[in-house]
Structure 1
Amino acid sequence: MRLSRYFLPILKENPKEAEIVSHRLMLRAGMIKQQSAGIYTWLPLGKRVLDKVNAIIREEQNRSGAVELLMPTLQSAELWQESGRYDAYGKEMLRIKDRQDRPMLYGPTNEEMITDVFRSFVKSYKDLPLNLYHIQLKFRDEIRPRFGTMRSREFLMKDAYSFDLNREGAEHAYNRMFAAYLRTFSRLGLRAIPMRADTGPIGGNLSHEFIILAETGESEVFCHKDFVDFDIPPADSDFNDVAEMRGIFEQWTSRYAATSEMHDEAAFNAIPETDRLSARGIEVGHIFYFGTKYSEAMGAKVQGPDGKEHIVHMGSYGIGPTRLVPAIIEASHDENGIIWPKSVAPFEAVIINMKAGDAACDAACEKIYGEVAKAGVDVLYDDTDERAGAKFATADLIGAPVQIIAGPRSVANGEVEVKDRKTGERETMTVEAAIARVATAN
């Protein structure tokens, strides 16, 4: 992508409304634009990051055995009346009526609708286990939306829903998703700690929030410090192996970790003082096992191997992609801007032409741009006539992992400078070596 043809509305000044660094940097880097309180347009740069986050989430959901579908954002109130949650959910639910005066709602979550889908088509235990997921916009009318897309009213959610014949199967589904979440967050460059958590309006009696430690986090958390270094399940994990999945779950839950709602002071104090960690954190995922809460209320049952009808056991599993993007920024930035992990960087490399219009600089940059793009690298070519300082500031702000800098003096020697955005280290090398370094790293 050539910057001269791209839509990148950079802000030079820090926006006054931004309270935390991720909100400030997302606005300054031209990733988002606020349309109204808690509602944002994702601009091209932000959309590229969001798409890469979603791709990793999809890969790990599919790896775990979940199957993707897509449910509508508008839901009939009748389904929520069946489950008993329509009146109980509270003012966060946006309630509306259609032209026929039928009560509708903009879905804050999808337990009722997925249960309706399940009961319409699944009748036998032979079709279990089943886990269905989608990535869809949700709306919760937060009383105080803040921190940009970290706590917005309209947000993107990956929500998955498992269906099993009994509790034993449901716990295996829970453990599978537990392992999938650990892998997902690790691939996004995050160390997310699973914490025992309150089930809230979703219901049930087993729940974990996945928290990344950050001073700007809204959650107060308490855990054993060893969580910082635990192993992540490998790509070849067998998600169908009950013992392997239980082992991963027990490895992580054998040490104390809880949100403030579930905090047990006595249990925490039993940990050696040097091993205690109390901090603030950002919730990036939440998983629940709630048994037959929805299936019993809505008649979701199957014929079991004994010929009798069984109410299915369910769980739900959420990840917020539009919250993950600022969470990654909170975890990875410096005073100059964002430092993206390669896996979700909007562009893996930025080519900076220090003297656009100079024949030698143009030729070198065009050669690099063409070759690395041909190798499948997402590359941004700054071919504008901006000052060198402004180009460097933009490249640092948007956070591409690698910068390739071509100036008249270095190009005259057949060389360019390559900068690592994270470390700041610079290395002079030939044009061919720079191409090889970026292209082979893809």
Structure 2
Amino acid sequence: MRLTRYFLPVTKETPADAQIISHKLMLRAGLVRQTAAGIYAWLPLGYRVLRKIEQIVREEQDRSGAIELLMPTLQSADLWRESGRYDAYGPEMLRITDRHDREMLYGPTNEEMITAIFRDNARSYRDLPRSLYHIQWKFRDEVRPRFGVMRGREFLMKDAYSFDMDEAGARASYNRMFVAYLNTFARMGLRAIPMQADTGPIGGDLSHEFIILAPSGESDVFYHANWERPADLSSVDFDDAAALQAIVSGHTADYAATDEKRDPAREAEAGEALRQSRGIEVGHIFYFGTKYSGAMGLKLQGPDGAEVVPHMGSYGVGVSRLMGAIIEASHDDKGIIWPDAVAPYAVGIVNMRDNDPACTAAADALYAKLNAAGVETLYDDRSLSGGQKLATMDVIGLPWQIVIGPKGLERGVVELKRRATGETIELAPDEAVARLAAK
């Protein structure tokens, strides 16, 4: 994509109402714009990142065996009355009355709807186990929306729901999601630490929240130094229940807790290996048994003919929130540093002298070759100074930059820069294409 044809409203100034670095950089880099309190329009560059994040989430859900569907944003209040949550949920729920005076709501979550769908379409134990998920916009009417997409009112969320015969099966489904979440965040360049958590309005007696470490995080976290070691679970067999249980047990053996859940005895055991940081919640999983299936009359025929009330769990990932969390964990004083897997483009071309025919010809040729090689490329062909173009590339944070200038062309080279490290090398244009195409 040529920047002369793109919509990228980058700004130099930091907006006065932005309090945390991710909000500041998302506005400066032209990723989002606020349209109302806690509600954002996703501009082209930000939307590309959002879709990259969403796709990683989808691929790991599919790999775990979950099945995708799509539920609507609006729900009937009657469903929530069946579960007993309509009056209990609180003012965060946006309640709506349609033209026929039917009470509706903009869904903050989907336990009731998925339970009703499964209840009306599943018949026996042969329909179990099942895990269903969707990626859909949610709305929670936060009293004080702040921190940009980190605590907005409208947000994109992946929520999955499992149905099993009994508690043992439900805990196996819980383990599958636990491992799928570890893989999901690792693919985005994040180290997510699962920590026991309160179940809140979702309910149940087993819950973990996944927190990534970031200096500007929203809560204090305490953890064993072992959590700083990366774990590769990309080849895990999701059909091996014993292996999944071993992974979960191994990952919860080392101490990790939010400030509200601290355990002084375990912290004493950790000794000098105890670490403290700030963290950001990016995912939350729950096992809640028959809380919804029992309340809403979900009964299936068991193998012996007797009725079975399925055990359920729910599993959320804040897809739009993840963009802010990634920036909080990966930036410097110049701007964003995108991990390769979620970057909007792999490389940005900077033509330092757009009034130099040789530079323009070389930049155009390189752009064409990168596109032909399948490398996602953003080409800054605007009539601006080289310094302005480089500043734009730094703030938007593409993993690689190719800088083309007259002095380098005289020697037959361009400059390839790695945004994360600042390391630069000079090499021939075709070598730069080959190197990027091999990434």
In the TM superposition, what are the counterparts of 1:62-81 in structure 2 within 5 Å? 62-81=62-81
Q: Deviations over 1:298-350 (max 9, x none)?
A: 01121111111100000000000111001111111111001100100011100
Q: Deviations over 1:122-166 (max 9, x none)?
A: 111112110000000000011111110011000000000000011
Give the share of equivalent positions with the same residue, in percent.
Answer: 61
Asked if the contact 2:83/2:292 (under 8 Å) is kept, the reply is yes
Aligned counterpart, 1:228: 228
Q: Structure 1 CA distance, aligned partners of 2:199 and 2:258?
A: 11
In the TM superposition, what are the counterparts of 1:110-189 in structure 2 within 5 Å? 110-189=110-189
Q: Deviations over 1:75-113 (max 9, x none)?
A: 000000000000000111011101111111000000000
Aligned counterpart, 2:254: 255
Amino acid at match of 2:348: V
Amino acid at match of 2:193: I
2:420 to 419, 422, 440: 422
Asked if the contact 1:210/1:283 (under 8 Å) is kept, the reply is yes
Q: Structure 2 CA distance, aligned partners of 1:314 and 1:39?
A: 31
Q: CA deviation at 1:261?
A: 3.3
Q: Secondary structure at the match of 2:222?
A: strand
TM-score for the superposition, normalised by structure 1: 0.98
Say which is worse superposed, 360-369 or 315-324, in terms of deviation.
Answer: 360-369
Asked if the contact 2:191/2:230 (under 8 Å) is kept, the reply is no
Q: Secondary structure at the match of 1:280?
A: strand
2:385 to 367, 370, 387: 387
1:412 maps to 2:410: yes
Q: CA deviation at 1:437?
A: 1.1
In the TM superposition, what are the counterparts of 1:209-228 in structure 2 within 5 Å? 209-228=209-228
Q: Secondary structure at the match of 1:134?
A: strand
Aligned counterpart, 1:207: 207
Amino acid at match of 1:371: K
Q: Secondary structure at the match of 2:191?
A: coil
Q: Secondary structure at the match of 1:277?
A: strand
Q: Secondary structure at the match of 1:272?
A: helix
In the TM superposition, what are the counterparts of 1:247-396 in structure 2 within 5 Å? 247-269=246-268, 271-396=269-394
Say which is worse superposed, 383-392 or 214-223, in terms of deviation.
Answer: 214-223
Asked if the contact 1:198/1:261 (under 8 Å) is kept, the reply is no
Q: CA deviation at 1:370?
A: 1.0
Aligned counterpart, 1:53: 53
Asked if the contact 1:361/1:407 (under 8 Å) is kept, the reply is yes
Q: Deviations over 1:396-422 (max 9, x none)?
A: 010011100111121233211111111
Q: Deviations over 1:11-53 (max 9, x none)?
A: 1111111111111000000000011111100100100100000
Asked if the contact 1:222/1:263 (under 8 Å) is kept, the reply is yes
Asked if the contact 2:255/2:270 (under 8 Å) is kept, the reply is no
Amino acid at match of 1:47: Y
Q: Secondary structure at the match of 1:396?
A: helix
Amino acid at match of 1:259: T
4+ residue segments displaced more than 6 Å? none
Q: Structure 1 CA distance, aligned partners of 2:396 and 2:411?
A: 29
Aligned counterpart, 1:42: 42
Q: Structure 2 CA distance, aligned partners of 1:307 and 1:222?
A: 49
Q: Structure 1 CA distance, aligned partners of 2:174 and 2:229?
A: 23
Q: Structure 1 CA distance, aligned partners of 2:201 and 2:260?
A: 14
Q: Structure 2 CA distance, aligned partners of 1:216 and 1:383?
A: 35
Asked if the contact 1:338/1:399 (under 8 Å) is kept, the reply is yes
Amino acid at match of 1:55: Q
Aligned-CA RMSD value: 1.1
Q: Deviations over 1:245-279 (max 9, x none)?
A: 1011000111222223333333333x232022233
Q: Structure 2 CA distance, aligned partners of 1:376 and 1:272?
A: 48
Say which is worse superposed, 224-233 or 168-177, in terms of deviation.
Answer: 224-233
Q: Structure 2 CA distance, aligned partners of 1:249 and 1:363?
A: 55
Q: Secondary structure at the match of 2:341?
A: helix
Say which is worse superposed, 348-357 or 197-206, in terms of deviation.
Answer: 348-357
Q: Which runs of 5+ in 1 are unaligned?
A: none
Asked if the contact 2:373/2:437 (under 8 Å) is kept, the reply is yes
Aligned counterpart, 1:101: 101
Q: CA deviation at 1:220?
A: 2.5
Q: Structure 2 CA distance, aligned partners of 1:240 and 1:313?
A: 19
Aligned counterpart, 2:245: 246
Q: Structure 1 CA distance, aligned partners of 2:219 and 2:143?
A: 17
Q: Structure 1 CA distance, aligned partners of 2:187 and 2:105?
A: 35
Q: Structure 1 CA distance, aligned partners of 2:291 and 2:260?
A: 22
Q: Which runs of 5+ in 2 are unaligned?
A: none
Amino acid at match of 1:237: V
Q: Structure 2 CA distance, aligned partners of 1:19 and 1:396?
A: 21
Amino acid at match of 1:109: T
Amino acid at match of 1:97: T
Q: Structure 1 CA distance, aligned partners of 2:85 and 2:137?
A: 20
